[in-house]
Structure formats: C-alpha cells, structure tokens
Amino acid sequence: MRPTLPRAARVPALSLALVAAVSGAALAANGGFSTARTAAPQSASAPSPVARELPKQASRTQASRTRTPLPVKPLRAVVKPDLMLTTKAPLTPVQLAKLLRLRGLTWTTVVSTRPVRVGNRAVNAMGIDPSSFRAITPRATASSDALWNAVARGDLAASYAAKLPLGSDVHVFGRRPLEARIGAVAAYDLPASALIMNRDRARTVGLATNTLIVAAPDRRLSRLENEVRDVVGDEVVFTELRPVQVVNRRPATYLELYKLSATYCPGLSWKVLAAIGQVESGHGRNVGPSSAGALGPMQFLPSTWAEYAVDGDGDGKADIMSPYDAVPAASLYLCRNGAGRGGQALYDAIFNYNHADWYVREVLAIAAQYR
C-alpha cells in the first residue's frame, strides 16, 4: 500500500518524533555495554550512555604495546566543525603548515584516513589525536574520558554502523595487518568514522595523513575551499559540516515540509525523511514519549535534540514537538552522518538514527513506495 501523507495544518501542536541515534558512548567492560536502541520505537528500552574503565589485565593485543600513551587532555568545550578536507595524496609538512595558517581558523585537528578491511568487511578508518578529536563529537561521546583513554591506550573505537562487537579482538587489514581490541562503541557524527584509532595504530595499519577538520565560523566556506586548493591543488574532497541555514517557513502539508527539509542536505531524498516520519510517528499522529523517552514527530531523544535542535519556522524557539523544527533537524542530523552521499553512507546514516538493520530496511522500503 502506498504510504499517505496527512496535512501538517491539522496537527498544529503535534510533535514529530524522531528516533535519533543515541549520542552516547558505550565501552566494553566485563561483557560490554551499548546504548543502541534496536527495538521498535514504542517498545525500546531507555538508552543510558555508559563510560566505564576497561579491565586492566593485559590481553594479547595489549601486551604488544610498547609505548606509554600520553594522557588525554580534559574536554574544555565541544566544537562545531565547519569543514573537512581530504586529499588524494598524503599532506606534506609544508602543506599542513600553510593550511594551519589560513585566515579565520579557530580550531583544527589533523586526521589520517583510509578504507580498511575488518574480517571480510570494508570500513572507513580514522587515525586521530584523542585530545583534540573528542571535541567535535557529540557531547556524550566527547565527555567520556574512559572512551578516549581507551583509544589512547591502543584500543579501537567503533561506530554503531560498523557493527563490531564490544570487547572483541579484530584483525584489521590495511597496508599492514593489525590486531586490536574493540574497546568502545559510540556515535561520532562524522563521515568516514566507522573505526577510530590513535595515531600509532594508524601508522601501523598504514593510514595516510590526508585529512584536516577545521572550525572557521566567520569564513565563507566557498572562499576557504578556494584557498585550500591554492595550497594542495584540485585533488581534494570537501565535506561541509556547517549546518545549512534553514529557511523559516511553515508549509501547509507534511509532503511540502519533507521536500523543503530535504533541500538542506544535498543528495538526500525527501522520500527518506517521509519514510522516517511514517515509521516514527505516522506523520505526527503518535508523538510519544516512547518507552525510550523519544519525543515529537521525528522521535528525537532530548539529549540528541540538545545537539541538533533547529528553529525551522523562525518563531524564536526550537521545539522538539513541532514538525516545522523537527523535520529540518532530522535532515541536518542525517546529513551530518553522510546521508547525502547515498548508497552505503545513506544506510549508515539511517542506522545511526536508530541502531537496527530492520529499521533501516523498513525506512528504505517505505521510501521506495513514494512517488
């Protein structure tokens, strides 16, 4: 049966309910913990971010470490990044020095990236400095000292979409093989962040230092990108992380609202937003709270809403219960997780929205029915 789209005007006080991906960090400890909500929206158990120190006993992967990790610096503030740039070739020291001197950069972190294989699956890996990288992750993830200390010690931190069991030893195959432990699972809300490792681990597996993530709130991104090209040439891929300016409008129907909101994420079809709206709340008919505490027409958890709230209609407040705010927020959340790139990236973005394969399959099946 073809899904129906009711008129938003009939539910002025409705709360579109988004089951946003949990912005928490789950660490493996004595069996492991996970904040992923895999049950149906109305029967999900409430997620609770967990940050526990990992066991101190040495495993075969821990015993091989010879370097004493530097202590991870405490989190001073969560930073909203504006741009991620990735070059085809590794960045040279001269190029990095020039990039870091570009006008208007208020925060930077250098990242090594490369697709690797874990078992028989391909995943995108990042080599990072835990002290700086933590600042651009969701607040619950950024605040977890246990998670970032685990990464500093040499454990790997997986995203929910990577589906790697907590506490397991895995074989990572890049330019050189690596055996390591999955010490944490968390939401990072960045493209290509399925598997996080420290820089020593990144060098071992052969990740290239080819990515810079920056905050430049006062710069026009198009001009900044041109200045980057002057330094590194044209073989560079830009991922704009700055939220798109939302047009303050109140469309008359959900159909119009989904279509407008999808424009905030180039490459994202309105049909995906409509399918999520149908699964989560029946387009505003059931706005929660769910058993997990999710609210509104797009079923956002309040903790996730605090990170991604949008004032979509320009009334001066971002209301989790308002479709005019919640649907644009859902679009921007999905976009931050790479939905605009389609394919596997879209699948992973929806999985981050609600950590269950059945959920992703249902959303995509419903989206395929819209015309």
Q: What is the mean pLDDT of the chain?
A: 81
* pLDDT at position 17 over 50: no
Q: What is the pLDDT of residue 69?
A: 61
* pLDDT at position 33 over 60: no
Span of 26-30, 81-85, 193-197, 317-321 with lowest mean pLDDT: 26-30
The whole model's pTM is what?
A: 0.67
Which domains, and CATH codes, for the chain? 14-20+245-367 (1.10.530.10), 53-240 (no CATH)
Q: What is the pLDDT of residue 361?
A: 95
* pLDDT range class, residue 67, cuts 50, 70, 90: low
In the Cβ-directed half-sphere of 42, how many Cα atoms lie within 13 Å? Answer: 8
Q: Which CB contacts under 8 angstroms, 24+ apart, belong to 279-282? A: 279/41, 279/359, 279/362, 279/363, 279/366, 280/16, 280/17, 280/18, 280/19, 280/41, 281/15, 281/16, 281/17
* pLDDT at position 9 over 70: no
CB 208 within 8 A of CB 50: no
pLDDT digits (tens, 9 = 90+) for 98-115: 999 999 999 999 999 988
CB 112 within 8 A of CB 124: no
